[in-house]
Amino acid sequence: MGKATKTTKTNVLIIGGGPAGYPCAIRAAQLGLDVILVDKGGLGGTCLNRGCIPSKAVIHAASRFEEIAAHAETPAMGISAGKPKLDMKALTAWKDNLVTKLTGGVGGLLKAAGANVLDGWAEFIDAKTCTVTLADGETMTIEAQNVVLATGSVEVELPFLPFDDPRIISSTGALALEKLPKTMAVVGAGYIGLELGIAFAKLGTKVSFVEALDRILPLYDKAMTRPITRWLKTHNVDVHLSSKAKALTKSGLSYEDKDGKEAEIAAEKVLVAVGRKPVTQGWGLENMAIDMSGPFVKVDDQCATSMRGVYAIGDLVGEPMLAHKGTAQGEMVAEILAGHRRRFDPVSIPAVCFTEPEIVGVGLTPDEAKAAGETVITGKFPFAALGKALAMQGGADGGFVRVTARQSDHLVLGIHAVGAHVAELSGEFALALEMGARLEDIAGTIHVHPTLGEGFAESALAALGQPLHIAQ
């Protein structure tokens, strides 16, 4: 590292321009604070550059390809089509162009708000002072009254399946492929592995999963994951549960099955998707005298660390490692720094899996509510009984909406759904919990016909014992 050429002082220094850091910078600047944002990996962070957005673009393209291929094989709805051809390089270029537009948009928003953005790598000397190595090689020192750490997370690498081997890819590598592999082994059947594995299966890759646990998507109960399991089975996707990946072989991946026997999967590429870990190395965290909570930075309900004037947000502070959690924390910290009274206390943080079909979870499942000492009632409404779902060919996948409520006062404790396009219901679900809705509030709200949202109202009616469109 070269000698610092100048020292700059600022009210707020934010490290990391991902979905936690850049909204924090925008809001702080809007509120009149002097803000410097230092980012090296590209504005928008993992979510925009290598995660949420590019993966959803590839998932969308894969679904479009599968749909056209289905019409080519068996005409439906009066629509027939020629067999589609996939240009993986062009698909990746389309995805990259989308990402470039969005990252440029983030830069424009930061500039419009008045935040100063530095393209560089920060390394802290102490809790309030860091040296920044800029993209052009120059260095500068920044002294800040307040520091917000938003360094994000990276994929977990398995020591026996290193990412520097060209046949082994992370989720980032999977989204950058310019040639479609004929075969792929996916290590890990959590939401990242399943989302990408299903997308590649739709594009025509023979996909096999190896999962150490005895179920896919362990955060959801079996009723929720059953439609996904059914899709995997009907689309010839192999899922090896209670199995452990062992090593890369000449033709693929070796693993130990549930009976302790060694087996092998043919795979041109091995996608390792076993989780993510916070970025805590390389930027001087050890010089800041900040308390940790396991691998994460320890924070209170205002995202304040143990060092006065230093905050941490997003993936760096723990689960759930979701972009929208980081954004909410970033906005909150900016407002706290501007003198507002805020704390991070959401009733629930919604989670979505963009699998086939999609899954939404907000709040407690029935089993979780019972474990917490609640006596509950539930209502479930199948999309097979919903006109809009059937009109979109989404009613035959086993999907449903399920609401869980306290028996005594009908307070809604959790809402879960699985089915085509249910991700778009997540906002209504979260709002219901955040505002303390009762079953009667949901059932008494007029929902537009025909929409998927009707299924939510019907699930509340079912919990009340008064369903309209299913027999009970």
The verdict on 213 and 225 lying in the same domain is yes
**Pairwise CA distance, residues 417 & 432, whole Å:** 14
Domain boundaries, position 192: 168-274
User: 30 with 103, same domain?
Assistant: yes
> What's the pLDDT band for 1 if we cut at 50, 70, 90?
very low
Q: Are residues 384 and 414 in the same domain?
A: yes
> Residue 102's closest CA among 20, 45, 64?
45
Give residue 396's pLDDT band: very low, low, confident or very high (50, 70, 90): confident
> Can you spell out the DSSP letters for 411-461?
BEEEEEEEETTGGGGHHHHHHHHHTT-BHHHHHTSPPPTTSTTHHHHHHHH
Kindly tell me if the per-residue pLDDT of 241 is higher than 90.
Answer: yes
Q: Compute the mean pLDDT over every residue in the chain, rounded to the nearest whole number.
A: 95
Question: Same domain, yes or no, for 21 and 112?
Answer: yes
Mean pLDDT of 401-411: 98
Cα atoms in the Cβ-side hemisphere of radius 13 Å centred on 9: 1
In a shared domain, residues 174 and 111: no
- Our count of domains for the chain comes to 3
Question: What does the pLDDT look like over 318-341, one tens digit per residue?
Answer: 999 999 999 999 999 999 999 999
- pLDDT of 435-472, one tens digit each? 999 999 999 999 999 999 999 999 999 999 998 888 87
Residue 364 lies in a domain: yes
Q: Give residue-wise pLDDT tens across range 256-282.
A: 999 999 999 999 999 999 999 999 999
Let me know whether 120 and 150 are in one domain: yes
CA–CA distance, 168 with 60 (Å, rounded to integer): 24
Q: Which two tokens stand for residue 291?
A: 């308390």
Catalytic hit among 60, 235, 340, 449:
449
Quote the CA–CA distance of 172 and 182 in Å, as a whole number. 19
Q: Please state, in angstroms and rounded to a whole number, the distance separating the CA atoms of residues 214 and 445.
A: 40
pLDDT at 120 over 90: yes
pLDDT band at 393 (very low <50, low <70, confident <90, very high): confident
Q: Is 259 among the domain residues?
A: yes
Flag whether 310 is in a domain: yes
CATH number at residue 135: 3.50.50.60
Instruction: Give tens-digit pLDDT for 290-303.
Output: 999 999 999 999 99
Residue 449 catalytic? Answer: yes
Q: Are residues 231 and 211 in the same domain?
A: yes
**Are 318 and 355 in the same domain?**
no
- 286 with 360, same domain? no
8 A C-beta contact, residue 239 and residue 232? yes
Q: Which of 274, 299, 318 is the last residue of a domain?
A: 274
pLDDT of residue 329: 98
Are 355 and 455 part of one and the same domain? yes
pLDDT, position 3: 52
Domain of 429, CATH number, reads: 3.30.390.30
Per-residue pLDDT reduced to its tens digit, 341-392: 999 999 999 999 999 999 999 999 999 999 999 999 999 999 999 999 999 8
Residue type, 360: V
